[in-house]
Structure 1
Amino acid sequence: MNLSVWVLLFLARSRGGICGSGVAFTKHPTNQTVSQGNAARLGCAVQGLTEPDIMWMKDGEKLYSTDQMFITLGEQHWETYHSVKSVQQQDAGQYWCEVEFHDLTFSSERAWITVEGVPHFLQEPQDVSTLPNVSFNLTCAAVGPPEPVEVLWWLGGVQEGGPRPSPSVLHVQGVNSSVKFYCEAKNTRGISVSRTGSVHIKVLPAAPVRLQVRMLDNNVTLSWKPGFSGYAEVSTCVVQLSRRAVQRWDLPQQEVQVPPHLQVLSGLRSHSNYSARVSCINEVGASPFSSWLHFITPESAPSSAPRNLSFQLSEQHLALDWAGLQEEQLRGRLLAYKVQWTLGGEAQEPLLFKENRAQLSGGGRFFNASFQVSACTAVGCGPWSAPLLVLPPVEVRDQRSHMWVGLLLGLLVATVVGLLLAAAARRRNKETQFGSAFKPPGPESSVSFTAARTFSRTSAELQESTLDSLGINEDLKNKLQDVLISERLLTLGHMLGKGEFGSVREAFLKKEDSSVLKVAVKVLKSDITSSCDIEQCLKEAAYMKDFHHPNVIQLIGVSLQRRPGWRLPVPMVVLPFMEHGDLHTFLLLSRLGDAPFSLSLQTLLCFMLDIARGMDYLSSRSIIHRDLAARNCMLNENMVVCVADFGLSKKIYSGDYYRQGSVSKLPVKWIALESLADNVYTTQSDVWAFGVTMWEVLTRGQTPYPGVENSEVYEFLIRGERLKRPSDCREDIYEVMHSCWSPVPKCRPSFQHLVSQLEALCLSLSPAHPLKEPLLYVNLEGGEGGGEDGARGPEMGGGGAPSWSVPWQRQPETEEKDWLMVGSEVALAIGGDYRYIIGRCGAPEEEPMDPLQVRDDDDVINV
């Protein structure tokens, strides 16, 4: 025999139960026919193994039993049984035993268990949807044993014919109303009844419901939920659209294949009233239309420039007129007409007008000026009209032409005389940067100084601005009247921070007792200032006017700065000067500054507790901050955190915002889930932002959701993801933080509860010490060191409060004595447009760079 024959013989013996190893089955299971509900028992014995693991198999699958027992019949001889106490149809099948030995599997002979009982169904009749009086078939199949099995049909409670062999198909000629049906399967053991099915008559579908419109940028998407289908598949829907202007304008209807049940509506006019309704169609016909859904499309910038720009000029006035835009050209709600003009090739300050006409005083100053006009909506301004050149009337030009000839001749004579005098002077003297030094004959030189520029300190100053000159509402004016500070009492210093809409400057305020107070001043940029900008800025000041809490920044006053040539004054909000700046920069510098320093967990908890107390105060006064973040919290000289920037922060700081439209911004990574979805802000959404601020504090200023783009934040949160626990953050602190991010706003803790939790955490860290632990920093403000290297702890001022300083805010060892404080009349004389401080070299101080040059510009998305 060859090798393959030996292998086949070996496998045959092993499958048969005998092999050279001595393993053999001495008992095999036998075929059994059992009535349903009775017991069945199969036996199996194997010889040749010390402790065999005999497994029972059914139809190729292992049977797992917790009560299987092995009986010893002799040395290396074992028997086991498989028992079923109450046999059911699912127990019918093929059974055998298997045992493994040296990676070989040995099997017993196979046996069948056949279950006799009432028939069981292989196919039960299913529901039917049909048109009236259209024939259809019903199918029913059942088996034994015992066989044969007969089927009897019942339709509408009436027996249909006699018994039929299984499987059975019932042909129904048609019905005109819904009926119930079922089948019975019968053998010698009994009867089984199938499920009850229904015959549904197909009808028209019901009207769609829950119509919704979603507007994103210029895309309008209409969606709906299908109504009752009418027992027939709905494959098409019809969308009807009409525009409401002076009269209703029906647009061509659109046919949509469904699902999905939505349609992108294209070609719609901006800022227009539309109505939409939907009907869906099945094979019977079309459903009734849904109710009309009324909506207004988003605004856009105007599509056309105003036409027919004309002027009328007199010595006293210049009147401009132009044609207003039609509704379809305007594409939004008109905010103003913007007029820009140039004179002598230089652009002048643009002007805004509510009507399509403008009356400008001082007509003579507009000679040879060029004007253009554009219409503006909330989204932006449209195209500019063609330039219009303002020229005097013909008779005026003729009169003035003679005057110009005389002026030109006089100018020519003066130029010639000046050149002759200059040539003679160059022979007798030499120029200096300050004037002319004449050198007479003799051993010594006498110097005569001629000033390069002069001005009169007695010249008339600009008239000081009042709240009446701003055009704001009376209520706001009355609220701010008692906090108005004269511009003469303020002297602006170097810039502390700068953003897209304004800046924050250090300043000095002269008080009534002639003492000087160091303050911080928020100033709007002049080139974007309008009545709306001013009113928005002053509304924040009105909010802050009534705040009195150690953890909420308090308003000192409001000042109005008048500038030469500007129509409106620039508002300035005067606030306390915060020694250590904003909390975000402070945290960053503790990690990444030139001289990093450590902040203990107790100190960080105190920062969070200060913010929670401030927000608890604001929420108790029904104030919603909407922009709570570490960048909008300030740190004073006593290391106390104050909540700041109640609305004005959206105009000053430019990082970490999501731009909506063209002006508003949202701090995406600090905004609550419901605010991102529905643009709704509550105290609970401020609690969410507080949780993110806690994360900022514990990570020492890291950007939230690292690696997640602003456009991905909503999808990230809706999946249930949240900010991860920072390293070295205790679990109990993270639980407080995480509770602020509940998807259900009502489940978030209140600020009052957060204050209690944080106070308990602070006490648990160091119950025997005060909450504000002293920090050791280098303090050079006093010019004296506490030791040889000048390092010392906090000093106590006259009032007993500690005086703090940090390494990156070191002051010069000697106080500057030669600052020139420039008054408004001097600024006018030297051509400046700003009150400022001259440095020691006579030049304005440069704007300071960010110490880390770290900005979160990547978190800004323009849409």
Structure 2
Amino acid sequence: MKFLSFLIIFLALSYRETRAFRFTKSPTNLTVTQGNAARLGCAVEGLFEPEIVWMKDGEKIFSSDQMYITVEPYHWETFHSMKSVQQQDAGKYWCEAELQGVTISSEPAWITVEGVPHFILEPQDVATFPGVPFNLSCAAVGPPEPVEVLWWLRGVQQGKPTPSPSILSVPGITGSIKFYCEAKNARGVSVSRTGTVHIKVLPEAPQAVHVVQMKENNVTLAWTPGFTGYSDLQACTIQMSKKSGERSELPEQRVPVPPFQQVIGGLRCYSNYSVRICCSNEVGSSPFSGWVDFQTPEAVPSAAPRNLTFDLSEQQLSLNWAPVEEAELHGRLQAYKVQWIQRGESQEALLFRENRAHLSGPGRFFNSTFQVSACTMVGCGPWSQPVLVMPHTALPLPTQRSHMWVGLLLGALVAIMIGLLLTVLVHQRGKETHYGSAFQPSGGEAIVSFTAARSFNRHGPQLPESTLDTIGLSDDLRNKLQDVLISEKMLTLGHMLGKGEFGSVREAYLKMEDNSVQKVAVKVLKTDITSSSDIEQCLKEAAYMKDFNHPNVIQLIGVSLHRRSHQRLPVPMVILPFMKHGDLHTFLLMSRLGEDPFVLSVQTLVKFMLDIAQGMEYLSSRNIIHRDLAARNCMLNEDMTVCVADFGLSKKIYSGDYYRQGSVSKLPVKWIALESLADNVYTTQSDVWAFGVAMWEIMTRGQTPYPGVENSEIYEYLIKGERLKQPSDCRDDVYEIMHSCWSPVPKCRPSFRQLIDQLDAVLAELSPGPGKETLLYVNLEGEDSEAEAAQRAAALTPDEAVWGVPWQCAGMEENEKDWLMVASGVGLGPGSDYRYVIDPRNTAEEGSSQAGVGVSQEEAKEEDDDTVIDV
């Protein structure tokens, strides 16, 4: 009963509260001149304070220009203010108040904005044929009304003003012209955008015709349209030919556009083609683009070798077959594969370059079945019809009849001896391949030696060689690497040169097209890969290196894919030039701690720094951020030139000037810039920071940076202003250069171009030569005069001139100067809109309106505060 009584009392109070909950004041209709201020008000009464919001055209208004005050107990009032009313502020306004789930609304009010006319339809560009009449449209509204429109064509007024909306009929023209319209009412004049009337002409030839994707018998072409002739392109015509410039052997294809892409089918594998394209609009067709040549990829042969025969003698078994026709080969013949089955079990497959084979020990092939197939780089084709080798074909019939018992005895003895001999040979040469021994040509020709290939495995079925099309790479990456893919058969791996977090580097020998052998280094990804993304991450490094051409940046030779048995995905291998002296960090350590230490002069060390700076300047000019620059990732070639290498963490910047790391990965903490540690933001300036650390490594002959500081403590160490200390035998000017790389403000660090100039000057001073002038460092980014710079330099004490205010530079933002505790200020000027002209007759009345069109200094300051600059 007590609970029921309490509930009744509560409901009664709630009913009383909601009945007393009402608006005592609603907003009123306003007609405001554009640019003037406006204010709307609402008041609400109730027992408890409600939540009041302003609504405009059915949506809540989120604005700081609102006021909420208590008029008296149980009575509240709210105001919504607009400092400078514009056309977009016109509309329906009201208040809503909510209390205990009950929402009430005030009466609505309308704001009508009066001012210069507002365009609702501005003139648009027009394309037309010569001599064909056309119309132009323009519409503007007030208030106040009416609004009249005046047309201007070629800078000449066209007739008298007409009511809005207005249509201007223009007779045919023969050349391009400009036009615009003016809208006028009692408040002033507005000027529309300037439009252009273009004359339709023939389009220009397509550009950038290229192959997007290539398969065995089809190719995907893409192109960029040229100038369209001021008319939409309707279709494009594709012509194909076997050789550039000759008549097409394939029918023309006319395809609708867009998209500017087309798949061409019915092509032959491993064949050369040329393509050119023209496009047409309603005027006519463009010229053809230039011929673009391409070659379709190889494929597996479509037919088996024919006429397989054998000849069995006492010394050997000879096999012969007809070569596969070129039209059925679909590629370049790599070998013929001979398969034989004995007692129902498949034996080791044999490979031969010619269309014949000679096998010793004929007795072991009795009652065996032989088949042969042709193989290209892609794989092997179908098998020929099986041929059975019978023992009675080895000897003449009279000998069999007269010496039956002798033949049987000798056959058994020979079989036992051959079996023993084969057992010994197989044991001693278990790792040898028939691929090489079967390729011995007759006569005095040189023997061709081949390395055992994974795709021809003697212990099981053949593993098909991996291609870029079979491992799920992105189309863009696959197209970049297609022309640098090297068959695994051409590589012979040697001993390991080094091992790291992401894989190992091995010495190897690469067989070239002219049969010469080149010593290379092969970077092999760890074998515990589980997805195509792991492979893609490794091969992206090769994609970056593909087009590098600089003496201080390591160049790519090619990429290869190592196929593994019982594994779906291959291991990617990046083939690089062999560097005689290895990585720079190991070389520096060996000079100090090796079995035979050696002296490195300061001149040599500065030359190492200069080589790295030149390589990094080249990379930055190609919009590449390295992100892992360190002595361990720089290589020394035979003539002691340093090459920047290991682009595993590199990123290409396609827009802007920074890259933001989006996922957690293992990164070299002691080489990473302060802003990168804080925000995962990487720029060329963060590479400059790492270059300063690499300079320190070089000067200390391979010491670990920040000795005694743990990786987890690096950020706190740097944020306090601490940096790497000057090495004991480091010149002051060299330390000043590396110290300038560690400014907490990225823009205050030198560019690689400036670092090259500074290191060049140090190297010139170390080298013997004529007297040198004093080196002056000039800040090219500042705008101060020489006299002002001299006065500022004179005002600093000798210590402050270098380290008193470290890393200061011109053009710094306010928040950047906070890092360096340097006070500064900046001013902003008001803006304006040039398109609105106020009628002189309304100058007094519209004074505040004109001021409202511009931007006040306070608003400009607020706008500036909202600007965020990612460093």
| TM-score normalised by structure 2 residue count | 0.48
| TM-score normalised by structure 1 residue count | 0.48
